[in-house]
Amino acid sequence: MSMLNRRRFLAGTGAAVATSGAVAALGTPAAAAQPAAAAQGASRGARITTVTPADPRYVDMVSGSNARLVGTPEAIRVPANTQEVVEVVREAVRDRKQIVIRSGGHCFEDFTFNNEAEILIDLRLINQVGYDDRRKAFYVDPGATLLDIYETLHSGWGVTLPGGGCHSVGAGGHFAGGGYGVLSREHGIVSDHIYAVEVVTVDKAGKVRAVIASRDPKDPNRDLLWAFAGGGGGNFGVVTRYWLRTRGATGAPENLLPRPPSTVYYVQVGWPWEKVTKAAFKRLLQKYTEWSRKHSGADSPYTALGHWLFIQHQSSGPILLVGQMDATVPDARKLLDDFIDYLSAAMGTEPVWSDIQHLPFMKATTFGTTAGEPLNNPNLRTMHKSAYMKSDFPDRQVEVLYRQLTRPDYTNQYTYVVLHSAGGQINELSATETASSHRDSHLVIFYECYWHKAEDDEKNLGWMRDTYREVYADTGGVPVPNRVTDGCYINYPDKDLSDPELNKSSVPWHDLYYKGNYRRLQQVKAKWDPTDFFRHRHSVRLPGKR
């Protein structure tokens, strides 16, 4: 972890910087007085860093955490602050270049690393985290990564965000798309806490400027904030700063974001897959769903438990429960043990091993977000899909999952169907409060596959596609919003959703991600990116465009 990442700034106490005309044209008077650049990194010389194919760094910078996706931009621009982003975008507009945006580089699809983009804007140098006293909100820059964010918020103010479980995911894409983690049942998703956002936009005349949009009811730009709170990255402009404050929170900084417990029980429990019969597998899914539904209210004591149930391919080892329980709630350990016993009863077998550690919050977070090869090896090839669930698993889905997860002709140590219990605080907001519309599911399913070699692409992509298509065969091969399923998660983008061979439903990819919020997102697009300058395979389209 670099010193640059670790450094913490208090906005308002730093030296003032001169602002370019573009940045001074911010959306609110307060914003004009305090551009994000005041606390961001200085440029590393007269010029913005530019990496071209001849540069030794190029090969490193044209891919992210999915080695299957490699870009071919003619240049990578590495701005260090908002003004530099404005300059880079202005040059791209002038030269009619197609740009793409990278923050943490963890996108599962080719929205950033592809063969069409000419300029890749790499935001990793814009990575500060701190408290902005003027806005009474914490700021997080797009290039900041999750573990750095958690560490800084925790050591500085004793607060945190209910974000994802991988240390190196970037704020840029993660916050815009939602952000689920072990604290989400208790505190919602990260995008629910976004108070304001600074975005570099391009208007109809090609004029580039940084604007600030907040959720204040009087803010004329609040539609842009609405769209960035769950609408996903790469749609409307370049985010150069997020500000976060929990809805309704007031007072000292320590009260403005969730306060994590002092200690948690960090849980890893494994059940012997080979002893889980088909009937027991069915019972497990039934009982797990029942539990998730029963405890989906924000008043359940189990909002204090965040977890993932990893049902990996049977050849790879046990069925794994990984998660954490707030150790400070009454009867915490008993609640946890009861849940583990409940799962054992459902599977009809006892755990083969169980590791429950009582740890300080940040020790557990550091351990959990850095554990295992898939979270650490940027050279893996991956494919991911997702599905929200609203009711029990229909028999046909259980049949397919069991068959695919026990198939003897397929092996991969990193193929999982992950059940992530949702609900709790996540479902306290209405479906239209932010662009994130999935507010009545009790469960999100993540289909995940990681592997090492290109020669295994076909096998793994094939397994993933067959599984998903067959699980959702009754609804055209995708989890359409209906009584049982509820669409897909934009931070788990999946290009197959727009392939007519793989999505035979009448529900287009955008309605799977956004449901009824898509029309409003299109209106925001028309207002803030009327030339469709910011685009990728699944970016929000202008009204009337497909």
Ligand X SMILES: Cc1cc2nc3c(=O)[nH]c(=O)nc-3n(C[C@H](O)[C@H](O)[C@H](O)COP(=O)(O)OP(=O)(O)OC[C@H]3O[C@@H](n4cnc5c(N)ncnc54)[C@H](O)[C@@H]3O)c2cc1C
Looking at beta carbons only, is 142 or 424 nearer to ligand X?
142
- Choice between 69 and 256, CB closer to ligand X: 69
Q: By C-beta, is 73 or 253 nearer to ligand X?
A: 73
Beta bridge partners of 78: 49
Q: Which of 36, 46, 11, 144 is nearest to 86 (CA)?
A: 36
Helix, coil or strand: residue 147: helix
The answer to whether 68 and 381 have CB atoms below 8 angstroms apart is yes
Nearest approach, Cβ of residue 338 and ligand X (Å): 25
Least distance from C-beta 369 to ligand X, angstroms?
A: 8
Q: How far apart are CA 366 and CA 147, in angstroms?
A: 7
Q: Which of 535, 435, 437 is nearest to 235 (CA)?
A: 535
Neighbours of 190 (CB within 10 A): 31
Nearest distance, CB of residue 104 and ligand X, angstroms:
2
Partners of 267 in beta bridges: 323, 356
Phi-psi region of 117 (alpha: psi -120 to 50; beta: other; left: phi over 0): beta
Q: Which is nearer to ligand X, 57 or 294 (CB)?
A: 57
Computed from CA positions of residues 509, 123, 150, 366, in that sequence, does the dihedral angle turn out positive or negative? positive
Residues 6+ positions from 311 with CB-CB distance below 8 Å: 319, 401, 405, 416, 417, 418, 419
Q: Which is nearer to ligand X, 91 or 474 (CB)?
A: 91
Taking the complex as a whole, how short is the minimal distance between the CB of residue 61 and ligand X, in angstroms? 12
Q: How far apart are CA 170 and CA 126, in angstroms?
A: 11
- In the complex, least distance from residue 106 CB atom to ligand X, rounded to whole angstroms: 3
- Residues near ligand X (CB under 6 A): 64-65, 100-108, 111-112, 123, 142, 164-166, 169-170, 172-174, 176-181, 233-234, 238-239, 374-375, 491, 536
Contact 382, 69 (CB under 8 A): no
d(CA 201, CA 209): 6
- Kindly tell me which of 120 and 480 has the beta carbon lying closer to ligand X: 120
Shortest Å distance, C-beta 328 to ligand X:
23
Nearer to ligand X, 30 or 371 (CB): 371
**CB of residue 489 vs ligand X: minimum separation in angstroms?**
7
CA dihedral 539, 73, 531, 528 (to 10 degrees): 60
* C-alpha–C-alpha distance, residues 157 and 66, integer Å: 34
| Nearest-approach distance from CB 323 to ligand X, in angstroms | 12
Q: Which is closer to ligand X, CB of 437 or CB of 475?
A: 437
- For residue 404, what are its two tokens? 């695919």
Question: Minimum distance between the CB of residue 271 and ligand X, rounded to whole angstroms?
Answer: 22
Instruction: Identify which of residues 209 and 282 has a Cβ nearer to ligand X in the complex.
Output: 209
The tokens 């169907």 sit on which residue?
Answer: 417
What is residue 31's three-state secondary structure?
A: helix
Alpha carbons 98 and 121: distance in angstroms, whole number: 11
